[in-house]
Amino acid sequence: MNASPPTLDARSTPPYWTRWPEIFAYPLQGAVVSAIIAFAVAHGVVDLLPYPVNLGIDLIVWGAFFRYGLEVLRWSANGRDAAPEISFTVASSAGRFAMLLLVLVELLLILITSRYGSRVALASGVAMMLATPAAVMILALDEALAHALNPFAWLGLALRLRGAYLILVAFFAAAITVQSLAAGVITRVAPGLLVLPLVFCIVNYLMIANFHLIGVVIHQYRDELGYAGHLQLGDPPPPPDPMLAVLEAARIRAATGDVRGATALLRDEAESRPDGVSLHFEYRRRLRQQGGSAELAAHARQFIPILLARQQNADAVDIAGESLQTEAAFTLDDADDISRLAAAAAEGGQHLVALALVAGFHERFPLHPDLLRNCLLGAKILSERLNRQADARALLRHAKYERPYDPAIAEVDDYLAFLERLSPTRRGL
């Protein structure tokens, strides 16, 4: 058996030795407090019944409590910090097995004491205390009493967890000590009817904290223990992407010869799901197959703003360039989108696309705050990429006339001065 030191899972929550305040606060959650009080009151009420009826019913209460405690352990082992309100993944038989385990331990200790004396009984009790965390782990995860009573299984868990297992044993021993001392104090100071409920409130609190700690350790060392988690407590699978179903349906239609039907399906779905980028791209691909240039340009006016909003500027510029090849006057309807797209095109080296986009901007949007900047962008492309300095000067002079007090006027003046120095007339002087 591999007895190498346990390794922490990098995906796990912080290690248990840094989480003691959370571990002790776990039983104070509303769901747990309700269970603690309910079981404590149940023990108190059952104790008022005549013997041996009270004994049988009390064992049933213990079985229900252990079932809830094993549910807490299982939830914690699956990385859940919230406590369960009810027990729904642990079978009722597991609670009965835990109760039987408690009865067996008590009967065994009584038998050892009567046969061999208190010293041997004390040693046996310590041995059972050492085995208890392992037995509880196995019972919670496997729900098998025979396996939980297997000493070799206890030893295997202890060797895998090593120091962490000793912490579990120490916590269990400390909890028994504290609840025994608390019971002695409560018996002396509390009214008779309240003694048992108050004692069991403390007992239940410590036991739930113990169950939670065991679960936290299992979760922390789940790779070492080979624990993959409980199926019912695992994260639900992500919902299927509805767009994938639409794409598959469109492909099937196209494969059977109904290309127009596939295109219509994609068009309708893209309109109802404007953020479904994959639908838009597939719709455009189908349009290209059919030579739908006008439809491509019309769709581009709707799709490019979506891409810009998603910061997919390169895709937006490519689609604008494609549209300009089939429709020379292609542009967008929104001035802000035009400004962003033109800037992205220039930054990406597609200067003719940028120039086409800002052409006529000063006529369509004479009051827009980006007017001078767009005109300056167009002038730079005309001058530096196309060697059309005269057109660049004319564009900037018109922009100055339209917006003489624009904050960008200084940049326009500087570039106009630069263009004047490039003028053949200036160079001849």
pLDDT tens figures, 212-250: 898 888 888 887 777 766 544 555 555 566 778 888 888
Asked if residue 420 is part of any domain, the answer here is: yes
Q: Is residue 3 part of a domain?
A: no
Give me the percent of the chain exceeding a pLDDT of 70.
88
pLDDT of residue 85: 77
The residue among 201, 233, 265 that closes a domain is 233
| Residue 217, in any domain of the structure | yes
Q: Which of 205, 233, 261 marks a domain boundary? A: 233
Contact 332, 301 (CB under 8 A): yes
What residues make up the domain containing 161? Answer: 16-233
Domains held by the chain: number: 2
Angstrom CA distances, 367 to 33, 231, 361, 387, stand at: 67, 63, 10, 29
Predicted confidence (pLDDT) at residue 50 exceeds the cutoff of 60: yes
Clarify whether residues 178 and 41 are in a common domain: yes
Please report whether residue 248 resides in a domain: no
Q: pLDDT band for 399, please (50, 70, 90 cuts).
A: confident
Q: CA Rg, the chain, in Å?
A: 38
pTM of the model as a whole: 0.53
In a domain, 41, yes or no: yes
Q: Which band of pLDDT confidence, cut at 50, 70 and 90, is reported for residue 8?
A: very low
Using the 3D structure, point to which of 233, 266, 286 is the last residue of a domain: 233
pLDDT digit string, tens, across residues 111-149:
777 777 778 777 877 888 888 888 888 877 776 777 777
* Residue range 62-95, pLDDT digits in tens: 888 888 888 888 888 888 888 887 766 666 666 6
pLDDT tens digit sequence for 25-49:
999 998 889 999 998 898 889 888 8
Q: Which of 100, 191, 192, 88 is nearest to 149 (CA)?
A: 100
Asked if 364 and 226 sit in the same domain, the reply is no
- The pLDDT assigned to 26 comes to 92
Is 275 contained in some domain?
no
Q: What is the mean pLDDT of residues 262-277?
A: 83
35 lies in the same domain as 177: yes
- Residue 119 located in a structural domain: yes
Within-domain flag for 399 = yes
